[in-house]
Structure 1
């Protein structure tokens, strides 16, 4: 077999000298790989070790870096194909994590191509070495998927809660919103467990106190932080983790309160109005501008996520964006520094009713 092994070195050197686009590369690679099988027999691990050794020797052949890299990839790709066909590659995973396995396998391939020179045949077989890496990569990808799923569930829950709380503040709910507010106040008063859970080392800042001050009275975070000598981050974190979920659960359990399936995009809604002939004749754009600058209630309606943004500011920015081609809600959200979803809820539950009331008013004036 020594003769065949020497012939293998010759095949590798010949392959390195062939032009990168040469049609002879295919036959020479087949000849080289056939020699590997002849030298190692049916011992897959031995075949893999020989291929890794040949890839390492390419650096001794004085090749151009591009030719060396191509040769390494061709030889190492053959090694990985052998491993996959051998049945020695670890595949013990649940079907739901197929994507995690595929990503882990790609990362293992990348690791092999970059670190194959570090392989030590005296310590482990090639399959053992790579399967160890593959299993670790799979665990990492599995955790990522689980965390992503958890975040999606949490985001869905938070979005549902936001919709409920936004609807609570909507003038369109009138007496119902008032009844619900009274119900929440009574719940806070009659539920002793809400006064037992507090921020660590801040026994006065209970779930009850924060819901009363932040939700019912809408006291700004900065004011609360200053009053209690606690950071805004500490207050908001406790509120999101402990207070909001209890409030949303109470509302869902006691009231028939359904969040709309499709939020109203304020830019699309206003643009459709402004382009209708009946409103164009009434100079709706100019009338809207005059109205939002003179209507006092628009200065009192505030975005829950960012109280300094009033309905007046929101509508002013929205109308300004609509004057630009191919501009929309994304640009309004960017200008105001808030999420687009928050603006959709703000418009649908707090602002659109004011807009529609104004439009009905100018319609009546024309009759």
Structure 2
């Protein structure tokens, strides 16, 4: 069973690469590929606050680097697992540093480069899950995102934070300065209120 799934994913990657960037066929193949990977059960899963965010970055990485995949070296999910786990470590490290050094970030942290920090919003192959998530967050059809906010701060809603943390995400320290609200407060609210809503949406779309 596992071999069949791995072979199917390799075939979907090859099929996707046949179509030019920005083409409708490529976008459809990417959508099919991401859903197949998510539903295969072979991608690394863990119940941590940063997992949903790391997963979004992994889908983006897949779409930007799909031509670099080498089937002779690893399965599709093993290839993505390496990136996903690295992003999880980076996000955990970033949050830990911000919570412990909110007043004075260390120099080496200031100089760290985010691999997707300057990525434009309109990437030709933006993953369907990100495009759909952004559309959902912007439209907020049920009104649950705009109605959920930090206590005493109706301007800092789930809608605002989700949109700002979607790739290319705004760093927590920049949001802290912009909203004059501590990183710990923003991150805690995001994990407790925004992440469950993101997970619910992802499950409804078949991505989780």
Q: Where on the TM-score scale, by shorter chain, does this alignment land: which range?
A: 0.3 to 0.5
TM-score, structure 1 normalization: 0.27
Question: More helix by proportion, 1 or 2?
Answer: 1
Higher relative contact order (Cα pairs below 8 Å, separated by 6+ residues): 2
